[in-house]
Amino acid sequence: MKTATRDWVRKAEHDYLAAVDLARRRKQPVYDAVCFHAQQSAEKYLKARMEEAGMSIPRTHDLEDLLNQLLSIEPRWATFRAASQTLSDFAVDFRYPGQSATKAQALQALADCKSLRREVRSKLGLRV
């Protein structure tokens, strides 16, 4: 695995662990942060796959765009289309006043992130 790919994976895993830890909070839940870190982890995992494939990595938080670019080498990942659309919204939507994530949204974001994480790690030959 390329060094740059490992760097993407490390950053993705940090966001994943943050999302998991924050989702476990019983007192003062922070659902916005769970959604944000789930999106960030998914984004960085997709970019890790792009890096390993030698693809150009765009500066975007749009997971659907990243996924569409990856479909040429990972066509089965089309099953992540709905998850990528939903997770993309969490890159910005809940970061500012006016909207807040619900517990259901946070749990779904984490579940979507876990599914995508599992698939990318498997493709990269990493322990799931």
What pLDDT is recorded for position 91?
A: 87
If the chain, 128 residues long, is cut into consecutive pieces of 10 residues, what is the mean pLDDT of each piece? 98 98 95 97 98 97 97 98 95 86 96 98 96
Positive or negative torsion for Cα 79, 7, 38, 97: negative
Contact indicator for 46, 88 with CB cutoff of 8 Å: no
Q: How far is CA 90 from CA 82, 105, 113, in A?
A: 13, 10, 12
* Closest residue by Cα to residue 106 from 47, 10, 21: 21
pLDDT at residue number 87: 96
CATH of domain 3-123: 1.20.120.330
Q: pTM here?
A: 0.96
Angle at CA of residue 124, ends 120 and 126, nearest 5° = 95
pLDDT of residue 96: 84
